[in-house]
Structure 1
Amino acid sequence: MGVALAEKRRLEADIHLVDAKEQVERTLRGEIRSPVVASFFDEPTFTATHVAHDPVTKKAAIVDSVMDFDQAAGRTSFEGAERIIDYVRAEGLTVEWLLETHAHADHLSAAPFLQEKLGGRIAIGEKIRTVQEFFGKIFNEGTNFACDGSQFDRLFLDGDRFELGALSAIALHVPGHTPADMAYVIGDAAFVGDTMFMSDYGTARADFPGGDAHQLYKSIRRLMALPEQTRVFLCHDYKAPNRDHYVWETTVGAERTGNVHVHEGVDEAAFVAMRTARDQTLGMPRLILPSIQVNMRAGHLPEPEANGTRYLKLPLNLL
Structure 2
Amino acid sequence: MKPEIQGFFDPTTSTVSYVVYEADGSECAIVDSVLDYDPKSGRTSTTAADKIIAFVREHQLKVSWLLETHAHADHLSAAPYLQEKLGGRIGIGAGICKVQHAFSAIFNRKDEKEDGSQFGHLFEADEVFMIGKLEARALHVPGHTPADMAYQVGDAVFVGDTMFMPDVGSARCDFPGGCAGDLYKSVHRLLSMPPETRLFMCHDYPPAGREPRWEVTVAEQRAANIHIRDGVSEEEFVAMRTKRDATLQMPVLILPAIQVNLSAGHLPEAEDNGVRYLKIPINAL
Q: TM-score range by the shorter chain?
A: over 0.9
Structure 2: gaps spanning 5 or more residues: none
Per-residue CA deviation, residues 145-190 of structure 1 (Å, 9 max, x unaligned), is: 1111001000000010001111111000000001100000011110
SS in 2 for 1:185: strand
Asked if residue 290 in structure 1 is aligned to residue 263 in structure 2, the reply is no
Q: 1:181 aligns with which of 127, 148, 172?
A: 148
Q: 2:118 aligns with which of 151, 157, 162?
A: 151
Q: How does 1:17-96 map to 2 (within 5 A)?
A: 27=1, 34-55=2-23, 58-96=26-64
SS in 2 for 1:289: helix
Q: How does 1:154-169 map to 2 (within 5 A)?
A: 154-169=121-136
Per-residue CA deviation, residues 23-70 of structure 1 (Å, 9 max, x unaligned), is: xxxx3xxxxxx2100011100000000100011661100000000001
- Residue in 2 that maps onto 1:218: 185
Q: 1:107 aligns with which of 60, 65, 75?
A: 75
SS in 1 for 2:269: coil
Contact between 1:61 and 1:95, CA under 8 Å: does it hold in 2? yes
Q: Partners of 1:123 and 1:290 in 2: how far apart?
A: 20
The residue identity in structure 1 corresponding to 2:109 is: E
SS in 2 for 1:163: strand
Structure 1: gaps spanning 5 or more residues: 1-26, 28-33
Q: Partners of 1:308 and 1:131 in 2: how far apart?
A: 29
Q: Partners of 1:45 and 1:265 in 2: how far apart?
A: 32
The residue identity in structure 2 corresponding to 1:82 is: D
* Higher relative helix content: 1
Q: Give the length in aligned residue pairs.
A: 285
- Residue in 1 that maps onto 2:172: 205
Q: 1:191 aligns with which of 145, 152, 158?
A: 158
SS in 2 for 1:131: helix
SS in 2 for 1:88: helix
The residue identity in structure 1 corresponding to 2:203 is: H
Q: Partners of 1:179 and 1:80 in 2: how far apart?
A: 28
Contact between 1:57 and 1:165, CA under 8 Å: does it hold in 2? no
Q: 1:124 aligns with which of 73, 77, 92?
A: 92
Q: Partners of 2:131 and 2:106 in 1: how far apart?
A: 37
SS in 1 for 2:205: coil
Q: Partners of 1:305 and 1:145 in 2: how far apart?
A: 16
Cα RMSD over matched residues? Answer: 0.9
Contact between 2:142 and 2:148, CA under 8 Å: does it hold in 1? yes
Give the CA deviation at 1:243: 3.6
Q: Percent identity?
A: 58
- Residue in 2 that maps onto 1:304: 270
Please list every run of at least 4 consecutive aligned residues from structure 1 whose deviation after the TM superposition is greater than 3 angstroms.
none
SS in 2 for 1:51: strand
The residue identity in structure 2 corresponding to 1:169 is: A
Q: Partners of 2:229 and 2:209 in 1: how far apart?
A: 19
SS in 1 for 2:101: helix
SS in 2 for 1:276: helix
Contact between 1:159 and 1:170, CA under 8 Å: does it hold in 2? yes
